[in-house]
Structure 1
Amino acid sequence: MSETSETVSTPPSASRECPQHEADVIVVGAGPSGATTAYHLAQAGLDVLVLEKTAFPREKVCGDGLTPRAVKQLTSMGVSFEDKGWIRNHGLRIIGGGVRLELPWPELAEYPGFGLVRTRYDFDEILIGRAVEAGARLLERTNVTEPVIDPRSNRIVGVRAKNADGERVSYRAPLVVAADGNSSRLSVAMGIRKRDDRPMGVAVRTYFTSPRHDDDYLESWLELWDSSGGKDVLLPGYGWVFGVGDGTSNVGLGILNSTASFQDVDYRNLLRRWTSSMPEEWGFTEDNQRGRIRGAALPMGFNRTPHYSRGLLLVGDAGGMVNPFNGEGIAYAMEAGHIAADVIVQARSRPTRQARERTLLGYPRILRDTYGGYYTLGRYFVKMIGNPDFMKYATKYGLPQPLLMRFTLKLLANLTEPSHGDAMDRVINGLSKMAPAA
């Protein structure tokens, strides 16, 4: 008998239900993690219902840059990069300490040798479109307000939401995936809260009409100087300039909470001051700005756990899966969505409730085995770059060393061969395995 048949403590008149509101799995949120989860579940033949509080297309705060890790996931979903709107990049350009260094993406069998840029305005829509084509059902303007808990098992068996007409509606499924972003109201309602021992960042960005719009390298500035207090202060974080290919550049900065100054920084003013120091011919001026400066939190290093509890799986920002080394979130959101889908499919094939639950409890373990040690290294890295003296030393003596910087690129972007790699790969993989996956 399906677990959706369990009794829930919901008055019959409290919300409207119908067969179309039942599914094998409900995915809350249609961003990269939710869309990827839904796609792979639908590909496996499951009935998947995706509930998205907004409507597509929609704007999201992001750098719009995609590393080869993300490109691999897009390829596995059958996304075509030949359509208008995609711009390829060959690697990372690093600027700092008076040094300008271009580092091509490493040539690996595990990942493609190129990255991409695509504005989030329609990127998420492309992904959820692939999920719908695979068979997933999407309901837009459906704002999930709370979980439905079975009082006997204390498990989630659905969600309550307000639909596009403002009606209260219940949706039922034996498993629910929280892909509802950093705040993840669903996770909080299930008692899964953020961890204070994990790094957190803030990213702010805007767009400028610029001749640099077709740059084929992602550009990262390692030094962010704040002079607002009367003296130059080097802040933990980085700036970026990513050509979008449509006549504009995505220009932004990310700052980490590894220093006491984190809470006091006016990020938008800092971005304005930083861009005003750029060469005039780049066009990063107020007259050329397209859209306002927008900001978003960067939940890093598994800052919300456990990633599975009582029928709820967390993916993407809901589970704090942003890479602490470089602030990349999309690749890990998509990878986690793929992993979650595989676990769910395997769990549903088990003959007993106990066996299904054992399989689902393996999801956090797979995440720890895959990312835990690497994210621990990332937390150490965040603490190190929070030290201004270390950053000054690193940029002055590290950037001029091409071999060291190639190693650093592999480390920060997490681009290594899992086996049969070169010496750099073996060192990075070894360190990740030795680090505790706490």
Structure 2
Amino acid sequence: MMSSPNECVPSPKPVARSSAHSSAQLPSSAEVVVVGAGPTGSAAAIHAARAGLDVVLLDSQVFPRDKTCGDGLTPRAIAELRRLGLADAILGRTRNRGLKLHGFGGSITALWPSGPFPSEGSAMPRTELDAFLLDAAREAGAKVFDGVPVVGVERGSISKAGAGAGVPGVTGVTVKPGDETSTHHIRTRWLLVADGVRSVVGKQLGRTWHRDSVFGVAARSYVDVRADASAGADDEWIHSHLELRGADGQTHPGYGWIFPLGDGRANLGCGALATASRPARANVKKLLRDYHGQVRGAWSMGEPEMVTSALLPMGGAVSNVAGSNWALLGDAACLVNPLNGEGIDYGMESARLAVELISAIGAGRDGLTHAWPALLQRHYGEGFSLARKLALTLTYPKFLPAVGPMTIGAPWGEPLMGVAARLMGNLVAEEDRDAVARLWKAAGRASLGFDGIAGRKPWA
């Protein structure tokens, strides 16, 4: 029996578990194998299990485990968590009302807009969020195995029950549980790959990342903050500093962030934009410490701890994201907004969309090969195409110092940056018909059309 979305909701705390899974414990087959147990993979497992499918969820690491991330949950992410029946448990810990944007001589407060998405966001360390969602996947009926890496993908002719008789596809995965020297094979009808930005399994399936498109390099830390500081632990806003300067005073393309976590700490980090031809001009870990020195006073911050960094492909700058019975989701499919580096919301959305697609697609001969990239283009192509062009302009050294002072600090800064906050929060929905949404979508259509003539469309 499928559980309702509000049944068996676990507490949002990391749960210790053992990686001592043996080959004898692993199943020999499943209707759906999901690789990667971050928010995207766990969401896919929950949706598939609730749809009545037999699901195996695999992750190479032992949970709870850390993940380099800003930890922010936008209203769009909260909407997906509500679909899963899990939002209240997270919002009960901390919630935020919107963005505070700083830089170039000013600060602007932008409420999360009312509309198709909730008007509240949150933040939770990935160590806790991912363990929480993994528990929810287990409660939904998925068979969960952490500490079990996928070391190979088996190909062959798949039956009509999968995606058409005689169609080439994935027949299963090979895993290597725990410290065992032997491997184990799991046959599957559908393979959903959500193993992150580097996507080891995606590479085996032919995924190619195009570095000529804009990408991010980010660093993250945790800092203690005092509740009685002018901005502190009880702050109801997430903060973005758009004028990101190093110790030498040089402005870098990107932004710094402070996301209060509701437990006396904040996630403090920064991200810089780059391309293969214009690499990032600073070590982001050093840039993070420079940024910390600039904001620590107002927050009474402690020293940065657990400092990590990561490379972040963005904007659908990958090709080969699907085959007849497999698809890449979330970060593996480069579903990251180039304007803010956010991907949790898109990842969980893609999980839902993928499960809806495989539930509806039946025995079509092409299966997911064309349907999945077409769906991604339909939902995200216009916005991603335009966003990565806008982000690309920031990688030119002279652009931001020239344009920045005409934004936040200008008389028209508040309405302009209110629009920017909406776009940075991924909060333009398909059904929106207001002037900002119409302009954004029209510009996106033009940008995508240009990509088809003189560039590369997302996921092409």
TM-score in terms of structure 2 length: 0.84
1:293 aligns with 2:307: yes
* Helix, strand or coil at the partner of 2:316: coil
From 87, 108, 119, give the equivalent of 1:113: 119
The CA deviation string for residues 75-117 of structure 1, in whole angstroms up to 9 with x for no partner, is 0000042468731000000001010111001111x10011111
Residue identity in the other structure for 1:139: F
Contact 2:167 2:365 in 1 (8 A): no
Residue identity in the other structure for 1:379: R
- 1:245 is matched with 262
Contact 1:384 1:390 in 2 (8 A): yes
- 1:196 is matched with 211
- The 5-angstrom pairing of residues 326-345 of structure 1 reads 326-345=340-359
Alpha-carbon offset, residue 306 of structure 1: 2.4
1:24 aligns with 2:31: yes
Contact 1:194 1:304 in 2 (8 A): yes
Contact 2:123 2:260 in 1 (8 A): yes
- Going from structure 1 to structure 2, the CA distance change for 1:403 and 1:19 (only over 3 Å counts) comes to closer
- 1:414 is matched with 426
- Going from structure 1 to structure 2, the CA distance change for 1:416 and 1:84 (only over 3 Å counts) comes to closer
- Going from structure 1 to structure 2, the CA distance change for 1:155 and 1:16 (only over 3 Å counts) comes to farther
- Going from structure 1 to structure 2, the CA distance change for 1:366 and 1:338 (only over 3 Å counts) comes to same
How far apart are the structure 2 equivalents of 1:57 and 1:115? 23
How far apart are the structure 2 equivalents of 1:198 and 1:294? 24
How far apart are the structure 2 equivalents of 1:259 and 1:224? 21
C-alpha RMSD of the superposition: 2.2
How far apart are the structure 1 equivalents of 2:297 and 2:432? 47
From 211, 216, 221, give the equivalent of 2:241: 221
Alpha-carbon offset, residue 169 of structure 1: 1.0
Alpha-carbon offset, residue 121 of structure 1: 1.1
1:255 aligns with 2:272: yes
- 2:197 is matched with 182
Residue identity in the other structure for 1:335: E
From 89, 98, 110, give the equivalent of 2:105: 98
Alpha-carbon offset, residue 257 of structure 1: 0.8
Alpha-carbon offset, residue 232 of structure 1: 3.2
1:75 aligns with 2:82: yes
- 1:64 is matched with 71
Residue identity in the other structure for 1:141: G
1:35 aligns with 2:42: yes
Residue identity in the other structure for 2:355: A
* Helix, strand or coil at the partner of 2:222: strand
From 51, 55, 58, give the equivalent of 1:48: 55
From 155, 170, 175, give the equivalent of 1:161: 175
Contact 1:93 1:219 in 2 (8 A): yes
How far apart are the structure 2 equivalents of 1:82 and 1:189? 37
Contact 2:55 2:142 in 1 (8 A): yes
Contact 2:30 2:187 in 1 (8 A): yes
Alpha-carbon offset, residue 292 of structure 1: 2.6
Gaps of 5+ in 2: 1-21, 158-165, 227-231, 452-456
Gaps of 5+ in 1: 1-14
How far apart are the structure 2 equivalents of 1:389 and 1:263? 14
1:361 aligns with 2:370: yes
Alpha-carbon offset, residue 199 of structure 1: 1.8
Residue identity in the other structure for 1:34: G
- 2:338 is matched with 324
How far apart are the structure 1 equivalents of 2:401 and 2:208? 36
Contact 1:147 1:159 in 2 (8 A): yes
1:150 aligns with 2:150: no
Alpha-carbon offset, residue 263 of structure 1: 4.7
Alpha-carbon offset, residue 408 of structure 1: 1.7
1:405 aligns with 2:417: yes
- Going from structure 1 to structure 2, the CA distance change for 1:419 and 1:186 (only over 3 Å counts) comes to closer
Count of aligned residue pairs for this structure pair: 412
Alpha-carbon offset, residue 311 of structure 1: 2.6
- 1:302 is matched with 316
* Helix, strand or coil at the partner of 2:390: helix
Alpha-carbon offset, residue 390 of structure 1: 2.6
How far apart are the structure 1 equivalents of 2:174 and 2:100? 46
* Helix, strand or coil at the partner of 2:213: coil
From 383, 389, 392, give the equivalent of 1:383: 392
1:170 aligns with 2:170: no
1:370 aligns with 2:384: no
Contact 1:226 1:235 in 2 (8 A): yes
* Helix, strand or coil at the partner of 1:405: helix
Alpha-carbon offset, residue 384 of structure 1: 1.5
The CA deviation string for residues 141-189 of structure 1, in whole angstroms up to 9 with x for no partner, is 1011110122785421111111124241111102211111111111111
Deviates more, 1:128-137 or 1:76-85: 76-85
- Going from structure 1 to structure 2, the CA distance change for 1:87 and 1:197 (only over 3 Å counts) comes to same
How far apart are the structure 2 equivalents of 1:34 and 1:337? 7
How far apart are the structure 1 equivalents of 2:112 and 2:359? 34
Deviates more, 1:75-84 or 1:314-323: 75-84
How far apart are the structure 2 equivalents of 1:84 and 1:66? 10
Alpha-carbon offset, residue 55 of structure 1: 2.1
- Going from structure 1 to structure 2, the CA distance change for 1:279 and 1:46 (only over 3 Å counts) comes to closer
The CA deviation string for residues 32-84 of structure 1, in whole angstroms up to 9 with x for no partner, is 11111111111110101111111222111111111111010000000042468
- 1:3 is matched with none
Alpha-carbon offset, residue 323 of structure 1: 0.6
Contact 2:104 2:407 in 1 (8 A): no
How far apart are the structure 1 equivalents of 2:265 and 2:442? 41
Deviates more, 1:291-300 or 1:28-37: 291-300
Alpha-carbon offset, residue 281 of structure 1: 5.2
